[in-house]
Amino acid sequence: MNDILFPLAVFFAAVFTNNILLTNYLGMCSFLSVSKELETSAGLGIAVTFVMATTTAINWVVYHFLLVPFQLEYLRFIVFIIIIAAFVQLIEMVIERYSEGLYFALGIFLPLITVNCAILGASLFMVIREYSFMTSFFFGFGSGLGWLIAILAMAGIRQRLRTAKIPLGLDGPGISLIIAGFMAMAFMGFNGMITIS
Amino acid sequence: MAAGMIKKTFLAPLGKDNPVFVQILGICSTLAVTNKLENTMVMTLGVMFTTALSSWTLSVMRKWIPSRIRMMVETMIIATYVIIVDIALKAFYPEMWKQLGPYVGLIITNCIVMGRIEAFALQNKPMLSLVDGLASGMGYAYVLLVIAFFRELLGTGTLWGYQILGSWWTNWSIMIMPPGGFFMLAIFIWIVREAVFKEGTK
């Protein structure tokens, strides 16, 4: 596949066929605990998408121009997590300074993002799959968008479920996991739409 | 330090304080490898090693860490142990390292490790923290091993790569695909919670 189409293919694959939450189980903790309300889910999802796209790009640059030339690849875990944490902190400060509305909408979710496995996961996948810079950016962006779609769908379903009668032992995380399972099955329907290695 | 205290610390995470089905922590990075028993074993050993030793290290250093930057220090300590696991795996067990891919690195963001440090190691003595970390890792490990056992057995008819079920068995391929992991964990949580509630009403 040529250079222009491949990033786009990776983007759509990350949103649908290889959804980072539903096929790789990444970002489960916040997915299960925050998906109670549609609005908060949307806020967190947008913040995740933004941070994932930007940190994947930053991490790509740092990995290929700093770690590889000095043969420090094994330090990537520490370096990536620090970059993510620092970036999130920076964004928080910038938003707080310039946009109060946005700060109250997104600000509270930013600390949660540092410990979201999906963010670090996207960076690690991009290294292992040897993506180019453009591809990495689109991969991060697509993964974030896929996560946003999944958590929005989950929040919508859970709001409807509030009045349903659920067996006592299944209430809470149990039923959420079953819903996630069905969602993963639904997303498997996209298989074959795009195939990337 | 009494022996009873150690015993209590050790047993709690295996039962009533289990990180997976009571606290629903840290399923992110490991659920993905539960489609094979062997992968799960290696991965959970990595998690046990990391939780135990990072709890111990933090507990040793706890009096000298300024509380404002403690999250950063905790992350550093955890990442150091995860790097050790990653390098050891790459050196001694390269095929497994390839299969596990990014998931070893994701132990860093596994909430259990950070959770035990924050909740326990910051206030307790090193030995006790080591026991707590190890037990939390084990409480986590056995749940995932049970899930992996059923997923591999039902999904491919094998265990640890050996054929167990005969040719009469039709593989439930959904079990080794992503939805299978969600369903198995949900069923496990359901059974355990139902049992806990029954005990509570008695």
Q: Give pLDDT tens digits for B147-158.
A: 899 988 888 888
Do B30 and B110 meet the contact criterion of CB atoms below 8 Å apart?
yes
The burial of B159, by beta-carbon neighbours within 10 Å (0-12 exposed, 13-18 middle, 19 or more buried), is given as middle
Q: In this complex, which of B32, B111, B186 lies closest to A29 when CB atoms are compared?
A: B111
Contacts of B104 (CB under 8 A, 6+ apart): B43, B46, B82, B85, B86, B89, B97
Say how many C-beta atoms besides its own lie within 10 A of residue A2's C-beta.
5
Distance, in Å, from the CA atom of B178 to the CA atom of A23, rounded to the nearest integer, reads 5
Q: In this complex, which of A22, A115, A167 lies closest to B178 when CB atoms are compared?
A: A22
Mean pLDDT, chain B, whole residue set: 84
Do A80 and A147 meet the contact criterion of CB atoms below 8 Å apart?
no
Contact: A169, B26; criterion CB under 8 Å = no
Distance from the Cα of B166 to chain A's closest Cα (Å) equals: 28
pLDDT at residue A1 is higher than 60: no
Residue B31 is predicted with a pLDDT of 80
Contact: B193, A169; criterion CB under 8 Å = yes
Residue pairs spanning A and B at CB distance below 8 A? 128
Say how many C-beta atoms besides its own lie within 10 A of residue A193's C-beta.
10
Contact: B194, A167; criterion CB under 8 Å = yes
pLDDT bracket for residue A60 (50, 70, 90) = very high
* Backbone dihedral angles phi then psi of residue B89, each to the nearest 5 degrees: -65, -40
Matching residue, tokens 């490898």: B33
What is the mean predicted confidence (pLDDT) over B2-9?
A: 74
What is the mean predicted confidence (pLDDT) over B128-146?
A: 89
For an interface test with B, give the residue of A26, A59, A77 to mutate (most B CBs within 10 A).
A77
Residues of chain A positioned with their CB less than 8 A from the CB of B173? none
Task: Say which amino acid occupies B129.
Answer: S
* Backbone dihedral angles phi then psi of residue B125, each to the nearest 5 degrees: -70, 155
Residue A140 is predicted with a pLDDT of 93
pLDDT bracket for residue A107 (50, 70, 90) = low
Distance, in Å, from the CA atom of B149 to the CA atom of A192, rounded to the nearest integer, reads 29
Contact: A25, B181; criterion CB under 8 Å = yes
Residues from A in contact with B at Cβ < 8 Å: 22-29, 32-33, 74-78, 81-82, 85, 115-121, 124-125, 127-128, 167-170, 173-175, 177-178, 180-182, 184-185, 188
For an interface test with A, give the residue of B104, B182, B188 to mutate (most A CBs within 10 A).
B182
Residues of chain B positioned with their CB less than 8 A from the CB of A25? 27-29, 31-32, 178, 181
B32 in contact with chain A, both atoms CB, cutoff 8 A = yes
Nearest Cα neighbor of B87 from A3, A72, A183, A109 is A72
Residue A138 is predicted with a pLDDT of 93
Contact: A29, B82; criterion CB under 8 Å = no
Q: Report pLDDT digits (tens) over B60-103.
A: 988 888 887 888 888 889 999 999 999 999 999 999 888 888 88
Share of chain A above pLDDT 90, in %: 25
Nearest Cα neighbor of B50 from B121, B96, B119, B114 is B114
Q: In this complex, which of A33, A74, A168 lies closest to B87 when CB atoms are compared?
A: A74
Do B110 and B28 meet the contact criterion of CB atoms below 8 Å apart?
yes
What is the DSSP secondary structure assignment for residue B80, as one 8-state letter?
A: H
Residues of chain B positioned with their CB less than 8 A from the CB of A32? 24
Distance from the Cα of A141 to chain B's closest Cα (Å) equals: 19
pLDDT bracket for residue A196 (50, 70, 90) = low
- Alpha carbon distance, N-terminus to C-terminus of chain A: 12
Contact: A184, B194; criterion CB under 8 Å = no
Nearest Cα neighbor of A18 from A182, A163, A173, A142 is A142
Among A28-37, A134-143, B134-143, where is mean pLDDT lowest?
Answer: A28-37
B83 in contact with chain A, both atoms CB, cutoff 8 A = yes
What is the mean predicted confidence (pLDDT) over A24-48?
A: 83
pLDDT at residue B25 is higher than 70: no
pLDDT bracket for residue B2 (50, 70, 90) = low
Contact: B174, A175; criterion CB under 8 Å = no
Distance from the Cα of A77 to chain B's closest Cα (Å) equals: 6
Say how many C-beta atoms besides its own lie within 10 A of residue B145's C-beta.
14
Contact: A76, B110; criterion CB under 8 Å = no
Positive or negative, the CA dihedral B20, B138, A84, A124 is negative
B182 in contact with chain A, both atoms CB, cutoff 8 A = yes
Among A51-65, B90-104, B166-180, where is mean pLDDT lowest?
Answer: B166-180
Residue B201 is predicted with a pLDDT of 65
B105 in contact with chain A, both atoms CB, cutoff 8 A = yes
